[in-house]
Amino acid sequence: MGLIVPAARPTDAELERLAEEAAPFVRLSLLEDVLNLCRANSLWPMTFGLACCAIEMMATGMAKYDMDRFGAAVFRPSPRQADLMILAGTISRKMAPVIKTLWEQMPEPKWSIAMGGCAISGGPFRYPGEYAIVEGAERIVRVDVHIPGCPPRPEALLEGILKLGDKITGGRRLGHAR
């Protein structure tokens, strides 16, 4: 009856070599990858529009462009249930504290998309001496994807959501569909 006799304690160098040999077969980060795949394919945006870009966002959710194809059209009326904030429009100084509060109320992991020129940099409202506009969403929240346009077309918003999915999964998502 053969017993597996433990060898002497391996040296650090041996351990490193073993880890290298096993790397193609053992993926300790697999669970996180699976979770990220789920997150990227079921982004729940917050029901939240700031200006005219929100009209394009609504159009993106409707039948013609159908955000649901990418799992991202389950607009949630509460920040507690949302993991994506689409900053669609001009951010006024009066609105900035509200947006910060909503962003902080969203549970991690969470992402945000700055949609259109206003949310990226203040857009046409950015000029010396302006008094009412926050010059870019990045000044108040963390932004993952910027979508240029004034306003961006629904295709651009879809592309932004797919890009965000790529960012979440590391770029291995929807390879067959792109």
Partner 1 sequence: MATPAELAALLDAGALTVAAPTEHPMLGVAESRWVAPQRLVEAAQWAREGGYFLESMTCVDRLEPHGVFELIYTFNRYDSPARVALRAWVPRGLAVPSLAGVFAIADWNEREAWELYGVEFSGHPDLTWLLLPEGTEFRPLLKSFAGPPPSSDDGAGRPSARLE
d(CA 40, CA 44): 10
Q: Does 143 bind partner 1 (CB under 8 A)?
A: no
**Side chain identity at residue 76, one-letter code:** R
**Least distance to partner 1 from the beta carbon of 133, Å?**
7
Q: Which of 2, 6, 24, 128 binds partner 1 (CB under 8 A)?
A: 128
Q: Is 115 or 141 the residue whose CB approaches partner 1 more closely?
A: 141
Burial 149-171 (b: 16+ CB within 10 A, else e): bebbebebbbebbbbbbbebbee
Question: How far is it, in rounded angstroms, from Cα 81 to Cα 77?
Answer: 8
User: What span, in angstroms and rounded, lies between the C-alpha atoms of 145 and 167?
Assistant: 9
Interface pick for partner 1 out of 31, 131, 175, 177 (rule CB under 8 A): 131
User: How do beta strands 145-147 and 84-88 pair?
Assistant: unpaired
In the bound state with partner 1, the residue whose beta carbon lies nearer, of 119 and 157, is 119
Q: Quote the least distance from Cβ 50 to partner 1, whole Å.
A: 13
Instruction: Identify residue 98 by its one-letter amino acid code.
Output: V
Residue type (1 letter), 43: L
**Residue selected from 121, 135, 144, 159 as contacting partner 1 according to rule CB under 8 A:** 135
User: In the complex with partner 1, which residue's Cβ is closer, 6 or 128?
Assistant: 128
Q: At closest approach, how far in Å is the CB of 131 from partner 1?
A: 4
User: Smallest distance, Å, CB 126 to partner 1?
Assistant: 10
C-alpha to C-alpha distance for 66 and 86, rounded to whole angstroms: 16
- By CB under 8 A, name the one of 50, 72, 86, 133 that touches partner 1: 133
Q: Among residue numbers 56 through 115, which ones bind partner 1 (CB under 8 A)?
A: 91-94, 96-97
CB-based contact 97:153 (threshold 8 Å): no
Note whether 140 binds partner 1 by CB under 8 A: yes
| Residues binding partner 1 (CB under 8 A) | 91-94, 96-97, 128-135, 139-140
